[in-house]
Structure 1
Amino acid sequence: MSKTSFPRLAFVDLETTGGTATTDRVTEVGIIEVDEDGVRQWSSLVNPEMPIPPFIQGLTGITNDMVANAPTFAELADDIHARLADRVFIAHNARFDHGFLKNEFRRTGHEFRPPVLCTVRLSRKLFPGFARHNLDSIVERHRLEVTQRHRALGDAQLIWQFWQKLPESHAPAVIEEAVSRLLTRPTMPSRLDALQMDSVPSTHGVYLFYGENDLPLYIGKANNLRRRILSHFSTDHALPKELAISQQVERIDWLHASGELGALLKEAELIKKLKPAHNVKLRANEEICSWRLLERNGSLRLGLAVTDDLFFGHDTALYGLYTSKRRATDAMKSVADAHALCHVTLGLEKPRGGKACFASQVKKCLGVCAGREPVAEHNARVLEALAGLRLRAWPYPGPIGIVEGDSLHVIDGWAYLGTIHAKDDPRILLRRGQQRFDRDVYQILQKKLAALGDRVIALNG
């Protein structure tokens, strides 16, 4: 591989007091600088200003006595920062080394945001036929020469040797493409570490974005969590909303789901619970209502039903879902006008002292209220006009479980009770009792149930 493709490289390894970058400290730094002027090696022990645990001393051979008189990281920070400046930062399990250096530099007031290449990921990409890609496996596979294992410079030398071995098995163009892909990352918000994305799985799930003061900004579902999250931080945002989210997010969290259905149900549940600022459509609305069709004195009339009614999800005569009584009334009046139905007979307007409705006087009602249209004909036209708005009543005698992978989603009357392991007892969720009809669960499930087949299990409530 030509040096001109990647002219300034830094192969880095650290030894530390433990595995947590925010609380543990660096005990040794090893750097191999590679550029047009050649190859230079540098390392230094570092006083971590805290005791090294016995286990770590046994693993690395670096003792408390060895670092007692070594310089602190603050004393080395300018030198280390200069050695890494304007270079591709290359490390094995780079998230670990980069995370520690980022935290150490933060303590000393240095900005540290280099392009990062992880040789674990590079090995997986170029050698997909192998199951293991830890440093010991790579040493054995490529017959690398070990000097001091678990010492910073010795391990940095192994990474450099691995890099030099790559042209023996891959064409330069293939290596360059792989490296370029791994180096090309979306622009992450300044407060986020792009490397944390390496731990996000490429599976179904729900992701949560948090902003300042850890307030929920946005919740979404994904069939591929990693790809979907990264798409929020692309440089060509199609919508202003996407740009606003990417600029405000300060923390990312995610939950695994067993499949698409589980992700959809969990997304709807969390949005109602957390009320993130940028989710509007799935936010809880206390006025969700529908029209219930009733018969009074032989005429079909409409009455408003709200989701607090425990029979709501089971009623066979409900029409339309609306987010307020006003919207429900306006929408139904539009339907009535489109089909020349009587507002008064339907109960959408108060009667005018026994007089025909105003619409009948201007020929927008066929006159059932004035005796010009038989009630039976008006009833038939009402049913025809409302047919496309009819809600599907809960089609089961009680609660059900939907099997998805190793999970069981428990639903009752279009209400999502929760998800458990398929082998667990669903009674732990059924004890919650009848839950309120959920518009979003209805919309998610009512078209899917027929296709689920034997994945639907009747539960004894």
Structure 2
Amino acid sequence: MADTPFDASLIQEPLVFIDLETTGANFAVDRIIEIGLVEVDQNGVREWSSLVDPQQPISGFITGLTGIDTAMTATAPRFAELAPALLERLQGRLLVAHNARFDYGFLKREFARLGIAFRSRSLCTVKLSRRLFPQHHRHSLAVLIERHGIHVDARHRALADARVLWDVWQCWSASLSPDAVWAAVPDIVGHVELPPHLDPALADDLPESAGAFAFYDGDGKLLHSARSANVRRQVLGLLAPARWESTLVRATRRIEWRECAGEFGARLNDIAFSRAQRPLPAELYTWRLHERALGDFRPELVAAAPENFVIDQDDYGLYTSRREALLALRKLAEANHLCFSLLGLGDAAEGKPCVAFRQRACRGACVGKESPALHGARLQAALARIRLQHWPHAGIVRYIERDEFGLREDHHLFDHWRWLGSVANAADIPAHLTAAIADAPAAFDPEIYRVLNRFMQSGKIRAVALDSLADTPALSD
């Protein structure tokens, strides 16, 4: 389209208003099917748009929403063919989009598939609308169209929606003033200052999503790891100029992160970061109850290497050393007036009072004042709070976690409490499991057990059996 005259005072730097239509909202599996741009600079206003072959079918829902079907995109260029011209149109411009995380995220993924590290400053018009008009509670594109009386050729078509954004910008500039609009931009786009010894591209690469991150020194030693609901915000907070003289920032030379759909995946990856330099102990310990006689239960300390550790039906507590396990049992005995002799904690001869009885902290099971069955019942009641959960599934399952915006879905793979890794695309599960089985057996990690157990109880994640992988051997075999 030829240049369109406009009031140059509306802009302070080159802009590109952009909208994408996609096969869905999941960054990992969905693809772009249409791109629409409105470029605005001192030379005027130009428009550009194209359908894109996503190389996958378009669902009836998306066709109903956009009017774009598989037949329409079958003859369209693939993203790889459009990439050079598109990159030229985007470079050096402030990218403006409604819910910019969606459009910018899809562009980054598509360019990444081509080996291109696409980076751009982006401005979200949802955030800008909230900043300019805090008195309004709703800021969807449909609401803005109605609020400002904007004419729309066709909703949910890329170029039409990009035009709407440019029209909205002009309406804001007319009702407030161009300077008022631009005054709100820096706080949303943000100018990030990083320590001079770190790559400045880091500010653009960090994801505004849940995940885990790790700081490393020049020798690759882990300095700090954490999880966050917004990795970018937390990492940049740690790297703020006011912190540049801190020991952490001065020592940091590399930062890694793993983007996740939500808190569960973030916790798992935080553990993975720390485990890389803080390995599991050689053995894990638990107390296992044995019934010596009817009702007479006695604890036995059992140990196994993390690769071989399997929870039995009557296991209690999870410890990383023998000393830790004995100390925990002793504290439990003292709190519940249990007999040290029957628990195997003391060295008193059979029939003689244990040390706890002599201190009036035992009810006398050691000297016949309490029956072994009653003591066994009290022991079971005391241990109930630390009873380990037996694996409730037949074998490998995936726990599905979705982000709050529906842009990402993670599939966390587990077998007998062992984390086998996660994938963002269900289609990648078979290949991922094949590789996992070929590698060394997955270890039982107490921290991962506790995290998974907690999330299972909360109902925030949903387990799905891998029926199609029923013949896959369990890694705990």
TM over 0.5: yes
CA shift, 1:178, in A, is 2.1
Distance 1:302 1:223 in 2: 42
Matched, 1:440 2:441: no
What code does the residue aligned with 1:230 have?
L
Report the Cα distance in structure 1 between the residues aligned to 2:195 and 2:465, rounded to whole angstroms: 42
Could you list the runs of 5+ residues in structure 2 that have no partner in the other structure? 1-11, 15-83, 96-118, 130-139, 142-155, 402-407
Q: Map Cα deviations across residues 179-198 of structure 1 (whole Å, 9 max, x no partner).
A: 2454554x633312455212
Question: Are the aligned partners of 2:286 and 2:319 in contact in 1 as well (CA < 8 Å)?
Answer: yes
Instruction: Determine whether 1:410 maps to 2:423.
Output: no
Residue equivalent to 2:422: 419
Give per-residue Cα distances to partners, 1:310-333, cap 9 Å, x unaligned.
Answer: 674331111112232112211211
> Are residue 352 (structure 1) and residue 349 (structure 2) matched?
yes
Could you say which residue in structure 2 is the equivalent of 1:121? 122
Q: Which of 278, 284, 300 lines up with 2:280 in the alignment?
A: 284
Cα distance, 1:92 vs structure 2: 4.0
- 1:354 to partner: Cα distance: 5.0
8 A Cα contact 1:208 1:254, kept in partner: yes
Match of 2:196 in 1: 190
- Separation (CA, whole Å) in 1 of partners of 2:183 and 2:120: 13
Q: Is the 8 A contact 2:351 2:368 kept in 1?
A: no
Question: Conserved in 1, the CA contact under 8 Å of 2:346 and 2:355?
Answer: no
Do the aligned partners of 1:342 and 1:369 also contact (CA within 8 Å) in 2? Answer: yes
Residue of structure 1 equivalent to 2:383: 386
Query: Are 1:214 and 2:220 counterparts?
Result: yes
Could you tell me how far apart the structure 2 residues matched to 1:131 and 1:196 are?
33
Task: Return the alpha-carbon distance in structure 2 between the equivalents of residues 256 and 348 of structure 1.
Answer: 47
Residues 233, 444 of structure 1: alpha-carbon distance in 2 compared, 3 angstrom cutoff: same
Change (3 A) 1:333 1:123: closer
- Matched-pair contact (CA < 8 Å) for 2:353–2:366: yes
Given that 2:330 and 2:345 are in contact with CA atoms closer than 8 Å, whether structure 1 keeps it comes out as: yes
Kindly indicate whether the alpha-carbon contact (under 8 Å) linking 1:403 and 1:456 is maintained by their aligned counterparts in 2. no
**1:245 alignment counterpart:** 248
Contact 1:341/1:366 (<8 A) preserved:
yes
Q: Contact 2:213/2:225 (CA < 8 Å) preserved in 1?
A: yes
Q: Are 2:321 and 1:314 aligned?
A: no
Residues 227-253 of structure 1 deviation map (CA, whole Å, 9 limit, x = unaligned): 22123234778xxxx954334222222
Shift of 1:222: 2.6
State the AA in 1 paired with 2:373.
Answer: A
Deviation of 1:261 (Å): 2.6
Classify the secondary structure of the residue corresponding to 2:427: coil
Structure 1, unaligned stretches of length 5 or more?
1-8, 12-55, 61-90, 95-117, 143-161, 276-282
Q: Could you state the TM-score of these two structures normalised by the residue count of structure 2?
A: 0.56
The structure that has the greater radius of gyration is 1
Q: 1:123 to 1:369 in 2, by over 3 A?
A: closer
Instruction: Decide which of 308, 315, 320 is 1:323's aligned counterpart.
Output: 320
Letter in 1 for 2:197: R
Contact 1:305–1:312 (CA<8 Å) still a contact in 2?
no
Does the 8 Å CA contact 1:302/1:348 hold for their aligned counterparts?
no
Task: Determine whether 1:224 maps to 2:230.
Answer: yes
Kept in 2: contact 1:307–1:437 (CA 8 A): no
**1:399 partnered with 2:396:** yes
Output the CA distance in 2 between the equivalents of 1:122 and 1:407.
27
The Cα RMSD (Å) is 4.2
For 2:122, what is the secondary structure of its paired residue? helix
Describe the shift of the 1:243–1:382 C-alpha distance in structure 2 as closer, same or farther (beyond 3 A).
farther
Determine the structure 1 residue equivalent to 2:334: 337
In structure 2, the residue matched to 1:294 is 290
Aligned-partner residue type, residue 239 of structure 2: F
Quick check: 2:197–2:253 contact (8 Å CA) kept in 1?
A: yes
Deviation at 1:351, TM superposition (A): 3.8
Residue 199 in structure 1 maps to residue 199 in structure 2 = no
Using a 3 Å threshold, how does the CA distance of structure 1 residues 438 and 333 change in structure 2: closer, same or farther?
A: same
In structure 1, what is the Cα distance between the partners aligned to 2:353 and 2:366? 5
1:175 to 157, 177, 182: 182
| Aligned-residue offset at 1:439 | 0.7
2:374 is the alignment partner of 1:368: no
2:270 is aligned, of 247, 267, 270, to 267
User: How far off its partner does 1:297 sit?
Assistant: 4.3
**What is the Cα deviation at residue 254 of structure 1?**
2.0
Structure 2 vs 1, CA of residues 330 and 119 (structure 1 numbering), >3 Å: closer, same or farther? closer
Q: State percent identity of aligned pairs.
A: 28
Q: Distance in 2 between matches of 1:411 and 1:446?
A: 12
Contact 2:398 2:466 in 1 (8 A): yes
Q: 1:314 to 1:374 in 2, by over 3 A?
A: same
Using CA pairs under 8 Å that are at least 6 residues apart, name the structure with larger relative contact order, 1 or 2.
2
C-alpha change, 1:228 and 1:423, in structure 2 (3 Å) is: same
Q: Any idea what the Cα deviations from partners look like across 1:393-440, whole Å, max 9, x if unmatched?
A: 111122222234554322111111122431131344345575332111
The amino acid that maps onto 1:286 is: A
Residue 93 of structure 1, CA deviation: 6.5
Separation in structure 2 between the aligned mates of residue 257 and residue 183 of structure 1, nearest angstrom: 24
Q: Which residue of 1 aligns with 2:9?
A: none
